[in-house]
Every structure is written in structure tokens, then in C-alpha cells.
Amino acid sequence: MAVGEDEQAILLGECKWSPRPLGTNILKELQSKAGKLPAIDLNSRVPYALFSKSGFTPELRKLAKQQGVLLVTPADLTIKSPQLD
């Protein structure tokens, strides 16, 4: 969970270091957990992010696109530096 400085912005995420791609069940579990947090108004839009070592199933990619969920792999976090000679 990340909360903005003014506490008006919130991001909920989950990170899995599994050898298999993540499926829709992980997103549904995260959304279920979010509903149990007292500080979250379920009528407001809560952005979600999933981080996965091994990527995501096609079903999760489709659902994430529909719901605006951020999907992140290690390759998305890698900073490529220019070659130094």
C-alpha cells in the first residue's frame, strides 16, 4: 500500500516472486483485501498494481486492461545504462 503525502491518493499492490505467471485470482484477492481496509471508500477508484517475477496470464492481462490495473515485471523496472567504452 502506498499513500500520497496529502493522504488523498492511494495505490494498492501485491508482489509475487513465483515461477508461474499470475492469474486473475491474485487481483481478485487483492480487491477483496482492499474492501476490508477501513480507510478505503469503495465508491472511489482505487488503483491497483501487481508485480510479478514471471509475468501474467492472458486472462489477467485482459482483466487488468479493462480495470486499469498496472502490471509490472522485473523487465519494467530495469534501467538500461548506455555502454561505457
Q: Let me know if residue 12 belongs to a domain.
A: yes
Question: Residue 37 sits in which domain range?
Answer: 2-77
Cα separation, 56 vs 59, whole angstroms: 8
Q: Let me know if residue 30 belongs to a domain.
A: yes
Nearest to 12 by CA among 43, 37, 62, 49: 49
Report the number of distinct structural domains present in the chain: 1
User: What is the DSSP track for the chain?
Assistant: -EE-TTSS-EEEEEEE--SS-B-HHHHHHHHHHHTT-TT--TTS---EEEEESS-B-HHHHHHHHHHT-EEE-HHHHPPPPPP--
Q: Let me know if residue 60 belongs to a domain.
A: yes
Question: How would residue 48 be classed by pLDDT, with cut points 50, 70 and 90?
Answer: very high
Question: What's the pLDDT score for residue 45?
Answer: 64
Q: Is the pLDDT of residue 9 over 80?
A: no
Question: What's the pLDDT score for residue 64?
Answer: 96
Q: Let me know if residue 84 belongs to a domain.
A: no
How confident is the model over 62-81, as pLDDT tens digits?
A: 999 999 999 999 988 877 66
